[in-house]
Amino acid sequence: MGDDLKILIVNNDPTIRETLRDLLEPRGFHVRTAGDGIEALRCFDQAALDLVFTGLHMPRMGGMELLNRLKQRYPEVFVVLLTGNGTTELALKETSQAAFDYVLKPLDQKGLFALIDRVAEHKRFWKKSIYPHEDRRRTYRFENIIGKAPQMLDIFHRIQDVASADIPVLVTGESGTGKELVASAIHYTSTRKGGPYIKLNCASLPDGLIESELFGHEKGSFTTAVAQKKGRFELANGGTLFLDEIGEMPFQMQAKLLRVLDDGNFERVGGTKTLHSDVRIICATNKDIYQVVKERRIREDLFYRINAASIHLPPLRERGDDILLLTNYFVYVYAQKNNKNIKGLSKESYEIFMSYGWPGNVRELSNVVEQAVVFSKGSEITPDRLPEYMKKDFQPKKFVLHLYSRSLPLAESTLIRKVLDETNWNLKQAAKELEIARGTLYSKIKKYNIKRTSP
């Protein structure tokens, strides 16, 4: 064990600090301790840390304030709330304001080690820091894909699994979610990485040209074919071919594609010789592929052939703190490029970023950050540098439920509590918003012992 994990324990109770230290150090973890939030932040000024266990109530700066500061400045760090046994109720109430990655009782050893395992596992995927001269920050990335959300960790695993399997892979997800990045990560972690990586966007070509792009043509096979040309299948021999927007592949081409996928054989346009190519294909689409199949725009047999394995990228809005992780990364990249000294988002911008829906996903985030960086004068990105449409629907206290704690009861009770607060305990209205019967709501309030805090 050990894995070089750097852990910070923040608590004003020295017994808790030392108990945890005694538990962790013998297992090879680097442990630091702090008595409150202020001391904790100071530790971050000195070294990169991976995991923070913090209590809630401490002199000077408590756990909530520490969490908020860390999330804004170091979204790459995992923050775990240690609740004392009786204060769980209070802890749950406060987690509805901002999200801890996990909530744990200090003496729950099994939970503690399971959690550390998870963070260590994530760390296995880290490449060298993308922040070359700054060791205080790290970023989670696998190849060029940045991510810390649990769904992204699953995707990193999946990429490794399919990379070694040498089967066709279908990558799906909304526009801008990183499908192309995933395709190249598969190629570059597979045994074919020494071979060529060739791409073709099926939507960008007129129907007549796609066949010659895929399979090549012989000289004189059509009027503009002034010389022999190799197609993508031939060029990708020994490597990987990425077919983007496969849902746009003309129907009459699909039978030919199926054939080459079956046995690797094809002919150039206007050619008679059968050629052979050893290619692994990866396809991508931002369409609902089942709908495309249903509408018969893609042959069912072809669909099953290309979908031997699949990877689905979640929209950015479902990735919680990854929004901040990516934001910090893009701020860093564009500040370097434009020679600016910008550290990150201001508090108001941070709230706008976390509640905005990001329909264009990571691509949109990258564009928004680039523009803001170019036009910013100070050291932070303030809301006046953000496009109007992002601010239009923004309500400062809009609730974002982060589902990082994997506890369903915690997620459920947090949501119920929040909706009750927002509806001023109007049970009828709250039940409607929660889409449950009023009786069900009532029994859940009792089950979780939810109490009204303000009149």
Ligand X SMILES: Nc1ncnc2c1ncn2[C@@H]1O[C@H](COP(=O)(O)OP(=O)(O)OP(=O)(O)O)[C@@H](O)[C@H]1O
Residue 94 beta carbon to Mg ion: minimum distance, rounded to whole angstroms = 40
CA distance 405 to 311: 23
Q: Which stretch binds ligand X (CB under 6 A): 109-117, 168-176, 202-210, 443-451?
A: 168-176
Interactions with ligand X, residue window 285-314 (CB under 6 A): 286
DSSP state of 396: T
CA distance 109 to 152: 26
**Binder of ligand X out of 83, 327, 366, 405 (CB under 6 A):** 366
**Binder of ligand X out of 137, 179, 192, 418 (CB under 6 A):** 179
Residue 312 beta carbon to Mg ion: minimum distance, rounded to whole angstroms = 14
Which CB atom, from 172 or from 190, has the smaller least distance to Mg ion?
Answer: 172
The reply to whether 363 sits near ligand X by the rule CB under 6 A is: yes
State the burial class of residue 407 (Cβ atoms within 10 Å of its Cβ: 0-12, 13-18, 19+). middle
Total residues binding Mg ion (CB under 5 A) = 1
Q: And the tokens for 61?
A: 């700066």
Q: How does DSSP assign 182-251, residue by residue?
A: HHHHHHHHSGGGGS-EEEEETTSS-HHHHHHHHHEE-TTSSTT--S-EE-HHHHTTTSEEEEESGGGS-H
Which CB atom, from 359 or from 439, has the smaller least distance to ligand X?
Answer: 359
The reply to whether 245 sits near Mg ion by the rule CB under 5 A is: no
**Binder of ligand X out of 362, 369, 390, 434 (CB under 6 A):** 362
Measured CA distances, 51 to 6, 140, 280, 364 (Å): 7, 13, 39, 30
Which CB atom, from 11 or from 286, has the smaller least distance to ligand X?
Answer: 286
The reply to whether 13 sits near ligand X by the rule CB under 6 A is: no
The reply to whether 158 sits near ligand X by the rule CB under 6 A is: no
Which CB atom, from 95 or from 286, has the smaller least distance to Mg ion?
Answer: 286
Residue 189 beta carbon to ligand X: minimum distance, rounded to whole angstroms = 15
Buried b (16+ CB within 10 A) or exposed e, 355-384: bbebebbbebbbebbbebbeebeeebbebe
Residue owning tokens 């096979």: 221
The reply to whether 13 sits near Mg ion by the rule CB under 5 A is: no
Contact between 40 and 52 under an 8 Å Cβ cutoff? The reply is yes
CA distance 140 to 152: 10
Residue 354, φ and ψ in degrees, nearest 5: -75, -20
The reply to whether 181 sits near ligand X by the rule CB under 6 A is: yes
The reply to whether 221 sits near ligand X by the rule CB under 6 A is: no
Which CB atom, from 180 or from 267, has the smaller least distance to Mg ion?
Answer: 180
The reply to whether 372 sits near ligand X by the rule CB under 6 A is: no
DSSP state of 25: G
The reply to whether 177 sits near ligand X by the rule CB under 6 A is: yes
Q: How wide is the angle at C-alpha 174 spanned by C-alphas 252 and 169, nearest 5°?
A: 55
Calculate Rg over the CA atoms of the chain: 26
The reply to whether 172 sits near ligand X by the rule CB under 6 A is: no
Contact between 159 and 142 under an 8 Å Cβ cutoff? The reply is yes
| Tally of helices (H runs) and strands (E runs) in the chain | 19, 18
Q: Which stretch binds ligand X (CB under 6 A): 11-19, 271-279, 358-366, 383-391?
A: 358-366
Residue 332 beta carbon to ligand X: minimum distance, rounded to whole angstroms = 12
CA distance 62 to 50: 19
Residue 251 beta carbon to ligand X: minimum distance, rounded to whole angstroms = 21
**Binder of ligand X out of 168, 178, 247, 344 (CB under 6 A):** 178
x/- mask, ligand X, residues 55-94, rule CB under 6 A, reads: ----------------------------------------
State the burial class of residue 320 (Cβ atoms within 10 Å of its Cβ: 0-12, 13-18, 19+). buried
Residue 216 binds what, of ligand X, Mg ion, none (CB under 5 to 8 Å, by partner type)?
A: none
x/- mask, Mg ion, residues 168-197, rule CB under 5 A, reads: ------------x-----------------
Which CB atom, from 174 or from 213, has the smaller least distance to ligand X?
Answer: 174
Which CB atom, from 62 or from 173, has the smaller least distance to ligand X?
Answer: 173
The reply to whether 371 sits near ligand X by the rule CB under 6 A is: no
Shortest-Cβ-distance residue relative to ligand X: 178
Contact between 192 and 163 under an 8 Å Cβ cutoff? The reply is no
Instruction: Report which of 385, 352, 379 is spatially closest to residue 367, judged by C-alpha positions.
Output: 385
The reply to whether 145 sits near ligand X by the rule CB under 6 A is: yes
Which CB atom, from 44 or from 156, has the smaller least distance to ligand X?
Answer: 156
CA distance 363 to 326: 11
Q: Which stretch binds ligand X (CB under 6 A): 87-95, 179-187, 345-353, 384-392?
A: 179-187
Shortest-Cβ-distance residue relative to Mg ion: 180
Residue type, 193: K
| Residues forming the site for ligand X (CB under 6 A) | 145-147, 173, 175-181, 286, 326, 362-363, 366
Interaction site with Mg ion (CB under 5 A): 180
